[in-house]
């Protein structure tokens, strides 16, 4: 039998060493921030706010009506 001797050189991505670890750390931090924003920041829920303004005309103190003073608050001079 013939002896086979195979030697592989590392690819360019693995030869950098610590640089690739820092890149993976940044990617993991960004993914954790994105997941946290979706879960806690309301990224998955839709917030809709409806403002309803109802303007009711106020009662004016005119001289109309029966004049008996039975409606509303009485004024003291």
Q: What is the pLDDT of residues 15-72, one digit of tens each?
A: 556 678 889 999 999 999 988 888 887 666 666 777 888 888 887 776 655 555 555 6
N residues, the chain: 77
Write out pLDDT tens, residues 12-30: 555 556 678 889 999 999 9
Give residues with Cβ within 8 angstroms of 43, minimum separation 6.
37
pLDDT score, position 38: 82
Q: And the tokens for 67? A: 């004049």
What is the pTM for the complete model shown? 0.37
């Amino acid at each position: 039998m013939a002896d086979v001797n195979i030697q592989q050189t590392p690819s360019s991505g693995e030869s950098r060493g610590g640089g690739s670890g820092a890149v993976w750390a940044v990617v993991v931090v960004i993914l954790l921030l994105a997941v946290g924003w979706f879960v806690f920041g309301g990224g998955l829920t839709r917030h809709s706010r409806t403002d309803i303004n109802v303007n009711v005309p106020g009662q004016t103190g005119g001289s109309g009506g029966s004049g008996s003073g039975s409606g509303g608050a009485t004024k003291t001079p």
